[in-house]
Structure 1
Amino acid sequence: MPSVKKIQITFDCADPERVGRFWCAALGYVPPQPPPEFDSWEAYTESLAPEQRGAWFTAADPEGVGPRMYFQRVPEGKVVKNRVHVDVRVGTGLVGEERLAALEAESARLVALGATRGQLLLADEYNESCQVMQDVEGNEFCLD
């Protein structure tokens, strides 16, 4: 049996820092410290060629449990639905009205950060309710 591997989730985006900071606020993640030879990220950024500035951003779980997230600038915009998306688990173990209240509260918090609310998928005989969302650049994710 293969060993469990750590993973990184990579987002293609137009503005890596904007999308990355949204996900930091959404998940409680943090950006890494600047490289040791620099006092700040601003100093590091200034050392780069102009075309490299703002080309990427990273975010990590401060407890080291969740996957690292990497945001990279790409020239093309988003044109179709994501084939893979993030589920943010805010209602685990909750059912019915209690779950809907948890989804609503988190949805409202994320909308205040720039997310967009999509369709609310109500529970059926197989799945509990979940709220479809989009981040600040339109990447779909679910509150589950």
Structure 2
Amino acid sequence: MARDVQITIDCADPAALAAFWAEALGYRLQDPPEGFESWEQALDAMGVPPENRNDASAVLDPEGSGPRVFFQRVPEGKQAKNRMHLDVRAAPGVEDEARMAALESEAERLVSLGATRLERHEPAPPLGSGHIVMTDPEGNEFCLD
């Protein structure tokens, strides 16, 4: 039986990182619980103190087919290279120089949102079609693929 998957990312600022990834993935921030017009209103009703209001955030695929991405605040910073990373499929079905041009364009957009570009890997046929390695605003590696 197939299982639903949630991707969980440890971070220092869940609200800011959720906003970045919502833009990067074409996702949206998760709505507050039913009956509340805002998260502030919901957190007030739940008795969550102000210092804990940025402990978590989540983004959702607006079409409902992709996994939920959950961001949780942790006290420690990133220590080493990710053992797992996201591949953001920014140019599916596009080949050769057109593919790399599309990846470059997306890399520029993400840099304007706070990402950092690390390195470009050129296409290496027959298996490698080229990609760009980046980090999100908190230094988590991901690839534009």
TM-score range, shorter chain: over 0.9
CA distance in 1, matches of 2:21, 2:29: 10
Counterpart residue number, 1:132: 133
CA distance in 1, matches of 2:38, 2:93: 41
Counterpart residue number, 1:75: 75
* TM-score, normalised via structure 1 length: 0.93
CA distance in 1, matches of 2:31, 2:96: 42
Structure 2 gap ranges (5+) = none
Counterpart residue number, 1:38: 36
CA shift digits 1:10-52 (9 cap, x unpaired)? 0000000100110001111111221224221122234412342
Aligned-pair CA distance for 1:5: 1.5
Aligned-pair CA distance for 1:106: 0.5
Structure 1 gap ranges (5+) = none
CA distance in 1, matches of 2:107, 2:43: 33
Aligned-pair CA distance for 1:66: 0.5
Report the aligned-residue RMSD: 1.2
The residue identity in structure 2 corresponding to 1:141 is F
CA distance in 2, matches of 1:45, 1:16: 15
Deviates more, 1:69-78 or 1:46-55: 46-55
Name which of 16, 19, 23 aligns with 2:17. Answer: 19
CA distance in 2, matches of 1:108, 1:120: 13
Count of aligned pairs: 142
1:57 aligns with 2:57: yes
Does the aligned pair in 2 maintain the 1:24–1:31 contact within 8 Å? yes
* TM-score, normalised via structure 2 length: 0.92
CA distance in 1, matches of 2:37, 2:58: 18
Deviates more, 1:38-47 or 1:21-30: 38-47
The residue identity in structure 1 corresponding to 2:27 is Y
CA distance in 2, matches of 1:39, 1:92: 37
CA distance in 1, matches of 2:62, 2:122: 33
CA distance in 1, matches of 2:23, 2:80: 25
Deviates more, 1:44-53 or 1:33-42: 44-53
Counterpart residue number, 1:141: 142
Aligned-pair CA distance for 1:4: 1.9
In the TM superposition, structure 1's runs of 4+ consecutive aligned residues that sit over 6 Å from their partners are: none
